[in-house]
Amino acid sequence: MQVRWSESHRVAVIDPQGDLGIRTMVEMKNTISSLLRDGCRVLIVDCCGVQRMEAMSLGVLVERLCRAREVDGTLALANLSADLTARLNELRVHSLFQTFDSVPSALEHLVGIGMAVRAEPAGRPGPALSGRRRRSAVSGHVPVLLAEVIQVLRPRIGGRYLDATVGLGGHAEAILQATGPTGVLWGIDRDEEALAVARERLAPFGNRVRLLHARYEALPQSVESALPFDGISFDLGVSSRQLDEAERGFSFGREGPLDMRMDRSAGETAADLIGRLSERELADLIFGWGEERWSRQIARAIVRTRQQQPIATTTALAGVVAGAVPRRLWPRHIHPATRTFQALRIAVNEELAGLGPALEQAANLLAPDGRAAVISFHSLEDRIVKQTWRKLASLAGMRIVTKRPITPTDAEATNNPRSRSAKLRVLERPAGAPEEA
């Protein structure tokens, strides 16, 4: 089996080379799962030369069709024989896939409906993929609730969209794919290093993308010339890349400098913060932003330790926190330092102070019938989003689309454990709503 990645189209073409036996189908199943986890949402299976399929293989294929549909992906089949077409028709799974006479005709159709980006020159294959999985510059980055965000934003061809926390560009890429060939997206982020990755990832979309280094609190000033937007997305909190890079100082699982700044060009570090705050201020911060019941004991331990030597690394702080909480009373499912690290990160980056006003500003940037979608990861963020949406619905004529937050499916939570606490809330500006919320 071979897999080709069309960088221009952002489409994966899977070629079983005439063999759809159970062994090949198992390999294909794992490959498709990996591609879906990597954010690929358009796949073509080239069935050229395949004349028959074992019953078990057919079941595996149908299961993969269902999986692709579950994450809002498109799995197309090209070069199907009459026998395979008849057998799939018997299973009544027409809604799960599309069939085409050839791979080029499939690509042409997908470009036409905005699912693929643009046509490649004839005869120019994409770079070869390994049989296991494609590794890219954003390997390991799995956009959370991607299918759900696309579903609620309803991106349309030619629309104008804003990703207020573009990060590594996963959601932005999906929006651009759905709005091609004329849709435009503005993306902003405070992390210049993440923007560099997003810029590389979104380069195939050319001048359809505008990326800016800014905070979402400054939305009106940052995107004034682009108003209004058909959809706006926020993905709050820390990114997988920031957690995985020890030198960023966000994770207690890897030793690194105690930094935690999303924008390393400005502001004080977490080490600076815990070095200057009093014991009471530390306790209040850890309790308020981390909802940590042991905040006073932890603050006392931090002050006692820093009197001996500065707490300069992530693992040093994690050890101090773990030692301050009685071992028998450690949380069952999280590290005892989790809430303290959350509190410090929020304080260092002033994450919550401007969130409510930023969401209100975003509502004012929406076009009639436009929507704003926000993903939060802990109760403090979600509470602000929920209260802001209620305020805008009550005072400004907005409509809350999600009466209850959308959460990850069991499959997504299993494949991407960091998504487990995610909640998606959506607001819509009805056509008759006032221009200023």
- The domain limits of the chain are 2-124, 146-237+352-428, 256-348
Query: Over the stretch 272-319, which tens digit does the pLDDT of each residue have?
Result: 999 999 999 999 999 999 999 999 999 999 999 999 999 999 999 999
For tokens 């209004």, the residue is: 228
The single-letter DSSP state of residue 94 is G
**Mean pLDDT throughout 103-107?**
76
**Mean pLDDT throughout 228-235?**
96
Q: Across 131-241, where does the E strand assignment appear? A: 160-163, 184-189, 209-213, 229-235
The encoded tokens of residue 162 equal: 């804003």
Question: Worst-scoring range by mean pLDDT, 18-22, 131-135, 166-170, 182-186?
Answer: 131-135
Q: Could you tell me if 272 and 348 are in contact, meaning their C-beta atoms sit under 8 angstroms apart?
A: no
29: closest CA among 62, 53, 69, 73? 62
Parallel, antiparallel or unpaired: strands 366-376 and 229-235: parallel
Give CATH superfamily name and number for 256-348: Putative methyltransferase TM0872, insert domain (1.10.150.170)
Decide which of 227 and 205 is more confident.
205
pLDDT of residue 114: 53
How many Å apart are CA 251 and CA 241, to the nearest integer?
11
CA contacts within 13 A on the Cβ side of 148: 21
The pair phi, psi for residue 266, each rounded to 5°, is: -150, 155
Assign 40 a pLDDT band (cuts: 50, 70, 90).
low
Assign 17 a pLDDT band (cuts: 50, 70, 90).
confident
In this structure, the chain runs to a length of 437
Query: Over the stretch 138-172, which tens digit does the pLDDT of each residue have?
Result: 545 678 999 999 999 999 999 999 999 999 999 99
Please name the residues in contact with 16: beta carbons below 8 A apart, sequence gap of 6 or more.
Answer: 1, 24, 28, 45, 46, 47, 50
Parallel, antiparallel or unpaired: strands 74-78 and 42-46: parallel
Q: Could you tell me if 216 and 186 are in contact, meaning their C-beta atoms sit under 8 angstroms apart?
A: no
Query: Over the stretch 194-207, which tens digit does the pLDDT of each residue have?
Result: 999 999 999 999 99
Give CATH superfamily name and number for 146-237+352-428: Vaccinia Virus protein VP39 (3.40.50.150)
- Ramachandran class of 239: left when φ > 0, alpha when ψ lies in -120 to 50, beta otherwise: beta
The pair phi, psi for residue 75, each rounded to 5°, is: -115, 110
| 150-186 as b/e: b if 16+ CB within 10 A | bebbebeeebbbbbbbbbbbbbbbbbbbbbbeebbbb
Q: Could you tell me if 236 and 355 are in contact, meaning their C-beta atoms sit under 8 angstroms apart?
A: yes
pTM summary value: 0.67
pLDDT of residue 79: 80
Fold of 2-124: Transcription Regulator spoIIAA (3.30.750)
